[in-house]
Amino acid sequence: MAIIGIDHLVVRVKDLDVAIESYKKLGMELSRTVNGGLEV
């Protein structure tokens, strides 16, 4: 069996706002979900 992709990945951070800015600097687009999480 070979892994061909990743569907979901969980990352926990202490400061969500700092994490959002860090991911944006990497070129990712993020949006908050209804349950308080983020969607990339």
Q: How far apart are CA 37 and CA 1, in angstroms?
A: 31
Domain that holds residue 20: 1-40
At position 17, the amino acid (one-letter code) is: D
Closest CA to 13 of 2, 21, 25: 21
Closest CA to 32 of 18, 13, 16: 16
Write down the pTM of the prediction. Answer: 0.54
Which pLDDT does position 1 carry in this prediction? Answer: 82
Domain count, the chain: 1
Closest CA to 31 of 18, 40, 22, 21: 40
Which pLDDT does position 4 carry in this prediction? Answer: 92
pLDDT tens by residue, the chain, 40 residues: 898 988 877 788 898 889 888 988 999 887 767 666 666 5
Which pLDDT does position 40 carry in this prediction? Answer: 59
At position 19, the amino acid (one-letter code) is: A
C-beta separation of 15 from 8 below 8 A: no
Which pLDDT does position 25 carry in this prediction? Answer: 94
